Chains A and B, each alone.
Chain A
Amino acid sequence: MLLEVKDIHVYYGAIHALQGISFQVNEGEIVTLIGANGAGKSTSLNTISGILHPRTGGVSFRGHDITLTPAEEIVRLGICQSPEGRKIFAPLTVMENLEMGAYTRKDRGEISRGIERVFKSFPRLKERQNQLGGTLSGGEQQMLAMGRALMSQPTLLLLDEPSMGLSPILVEEIFNIIQEINSEGTSILLVEQNAQMALSVAHRGYVLETGQIVLEGASNALLDNPQVHEAYLGGH
């Protein structure tokens, strides 16, 4: 097992945002966490990333306990997140954004190979490499956010709502790339409100509701589940 989240309780002050959730990601998988706005999806990712720490419960990665490991160390261990809202460094160029993704890497040759790989997946970033991040379109920013996260060569990539605010064609393109990244060996934990798309690329999924996991299973099974249909797939 690559990542194991075990019965974590996460609070924002008095707000009990995650009320004892558990899930796993195995080597080579795409796993999706779906749920409505405010369910606790981003909180889950930020807890794995070490930005937040659970009050009780634990997170382990490749068998090591990382519950209290600080965020910058988590990246070194091989987990990198592309955050919700993309969070591109607007005053930095596309190239500099990618270099920041590679902050934990030392080997220059490895970094430039990483950049080549990102440009291969996202040719549009190559054309815009000297442009400021803030001047990119929404779709390009999403590509940059994913490319930046890939620059750390993560074993596990966390994606927080990559489809947010994008046109259906762009969503299609982004999800194709997600599958491509996965087929090259990176495991992915994908957070989405777009349950249809997420379940169509994921191997397994978890349904999150107000800080608790209410359903889990193989993607096909969840797609066929009437409850999921009703709540997240528009009921048809």
Chain B
Amino acid sequence: MEKSTTAPPVSFFQRIIRGRWIGKFMLAAISILVTVGIAFKASQSPALFFQQLINGLQLGFVYALIALGYTMVYGIVRLINFAHGDVFMVGAFVSYFAIANFQLHAWPSAVIPEINPVISLVIGTISVIFLAMATCGFLAVTIERVAYKPLRDAPRISALITAIGVSFFLEYFGALPFVFTSNFITYKRPFEVTTWYIQNGIHHLEAGVEAPTGSVLFSNILIIIIIISLLLLASLQFIVRRTKVGKAMRAVSYDKPTARLMGINVDGIISVTFAIGAALAGAAGVLYATAYPQVVFWMGITPGLKAFVAAVLGGIGSIPGALVGSLIMGQAEVLSAGYISTPMRDAIAFTILILVLLVRPTGIFGEPEREKA
């Protein structure tokens, strides 16, 4: 069924009523204000500005890893998986237990004592991340099979409400005293933090020493987050573009009945998609807890919602969109915390959501929903 492309004529008044016009105007006004404001602040203190950019980059990459799961799952089953943020939380906890209780991050030197400690740490940290990824992938496949699959042909709202239910279940099951407890727990990083500052070159910052004013700080955590995120993004891109499973994911996301006619096991491909999205969230959980070293059962809610906003901003269903949206969200959040006020950072995220929905509901890279024949 082709949809007619010629819309009926719309009067100026109707356009204002419809809100798009107001949204565009507001967006333009706000972007000008924000740009001028930031430019002014940046000229006053360039160091602080660059510091914010770096912090925003770190946050943005973590959001990207979460946002990809939202976008991939939406792409394949048209479901906003509200439990995704809680899968991220589980990833953080799994790594916490693996490190604090089982010293998984140090297993190579435990097995081979004479191994180079740096190599041991790298392998150990990667093992921790893999464990979190595998656990989250398995968890998400189970959730999909138990909670979402029976509702695949039900109205979309049923699955959405179920997703919210699963989210609450994960949070409050996690809050039980014999699971994750309801306390804040200090996270034990697999490695020590090393900090450098930039001022006429890059210098190592000794522990307990104050950085000189006007310098920009960064740590090995930033570098690790960026490297691991880029590696995971490249792997995802490779899977989706080059492998048989990835091509089948795109085919299933476009047209399930025809995919079945080609012999593609649609349920299997949906499971793989949930597993990959959740594995990325699991890795994000480890990185987030490493950067902000505290874990608690509700820690997935806010990053989850922000990553969701980032996915909508980039265009839900679009993988590059999730990355770009997340990097923008990271910057928006850090800049508003730095220049407006810290409590405002969350409000900004949702203001962005509202504006995007007003002006361009399909997001930056999103295409209008196809009319299904």
Contact = CB atoms under 8 A, between A and B. Distances in A.
Interface of A: 49-51, 70-72, 74-76, 80-81, 83, 85, 87, 89-92, 96, 99-101, 103-104, 148, 152
Contacts of B255: 87, 89
Contact of B260 (A71, A91, A101, A152): A71
B254 A103 contact: no
B262 A92 contact: no
A96 B247 contact: yes
Given A75-B263, A103-B264, A87 B258 contact: yes
Given A72-B266, A89-B250, A96-B247, 17 more contacts: A71-B261, A71-B263, A80-B261, A83-B258, A85-B373, A87-B258, A89-B255, A89-B258, A91-B254, A92-B250, A92-B251, A92-B254, A99-B244, A100-B248, A100-B251, A100-B262, A103-B262
A72 B248 contact: no
B228 interface: no
A87 B254 CA distance: 10
B113 interface: no
B257 interface: yes
A91 B261 contact: no
Interface of B: 244, 247-248, 250-251, 254-255, 257-266, 373
Contact of A89 (B254, B263, B373): B254
Contacts of B254: 89-92
Given A72-B265, A85-B373, A87-B255, A92 B247 contact: yes
B263 A72 contact: yes
A85 B258 CA distance: 11
A104 B266 CA distance: 13
Given A89-B250, A99-B244, A100-B247, A75 B262 contact: yes
Contacts of A74: 263
Most buried by A among B247, B262, B265, B266: B262
Contacts of A90: 254
A75 B373 CA distance: 23
